[in-house]
């Protein structure tokens, strides 16, 4: 099992892509720290994994709250002593015209999708640098690569996460810490279910494979970047979108 000696943090792992990633990493032997604001669902995911003989534990996390992030990082490090893999998987957005959005909406989207992951990464990075090992994989979005109608602020936040990851990859390389990004296209998650039907229909027509992605398909790309076979890959952005975007 390729992650049997690794401790992994996966944010947003109470559902969707984060949950699929936690399941995949735990299935390969990793000890998985479930980080999510939804306590009941997070506890349930951890319990499901333990029932299968996996190693998993839930820790509360609100990525829009500085103190919550600090407490989460401290609790994980106290419990396990280290984090080998960080998956910044949590994300949130809402389809709304930019001119109809307000400051409160902007702040939530930017904090959850960009500033929160930066804060958590900073909290866990020093011990990776000290041990000269780490894998950071952030889940951005194709919206952050090419923009998305009705998701202007979300697109900006996710683009910021890509730029941050590329810069951090340069800083982390000398410490054997890789930093990569996975950009899902429209994926069958609770977040997509909240998108108006007319937008979902438009997505299907635009995707060459004519279907939405499944969380497990995105998780496979995340697990690749987190594993040993990607040890010489850093600062890269991989789209998992059924061909929706083909950016050089």
Would residue 133 show up in a list of annotated catalytic residues for this protein? no
Question: Which residue is catalytic, options 154, 175, 199, 232?
Answer: 154
SS3 107: helix
- Strand arrangement, sheet containing 31-36: 55-60, 31-36, 7-11, 85-88, 134-139, 177-184, 237-240
Burial 69-102 (b: 16+ CB within 10 A, else e): bebbbebbbeebeebbbbbbbbbbbeebeeeeee
| Residues with catalytic roles | 154
């Amino acid at each position: 099992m390729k992650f049997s000696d690794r401790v992994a943090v996966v944010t947003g792992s109470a559902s969707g892509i984060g949950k699929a990633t936690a399941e995949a990493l735990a299935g390969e032997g990793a000890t998985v720290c479930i980080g999510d604001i939804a306590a009941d669902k997070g506890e349930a995911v951890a319990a499901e994994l333990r029932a299968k003989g996996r190693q998993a534990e839930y820790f509360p996390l609100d990525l829009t709250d500085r103190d919550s992030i600090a407490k989460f990082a401290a609790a994980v490090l106290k419990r396990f002593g280290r984090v080998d893999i960080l998956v910044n998987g949590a994300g949130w957005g809402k389809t709304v015209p930019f001119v109809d959005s307000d400051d409160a909406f902007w702040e939530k989207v930017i904090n959850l999708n960009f500033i929160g992951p930066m804060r958590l990464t900073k909290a866990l990075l020093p011990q990776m640098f000290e041990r000269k090992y780490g894998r950071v994989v952030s889940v951005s979005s194709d919206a952050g690569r090419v923009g998305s109608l009705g998701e202007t602020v979300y697109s900006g936040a996710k683009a910021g996460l890509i730029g941050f990851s590329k810069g951090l990859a340069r800083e982390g390389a000398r410490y054997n810490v890789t930093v990569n990004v996975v950009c899902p296209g429209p994926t069958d998650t609770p977040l997509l279910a909240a998108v108006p039907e007319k937008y979902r229909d438009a997505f299907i027509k635009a995707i060459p494979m004519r279907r939405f992605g499944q969380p497990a398909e995105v998780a496979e790309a995340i697990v690749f970047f987190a594993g040993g076979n990607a040890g010489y890959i850093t600062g890269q952005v991989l789209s998992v979108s059924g061909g929706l975007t083909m950016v050089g």
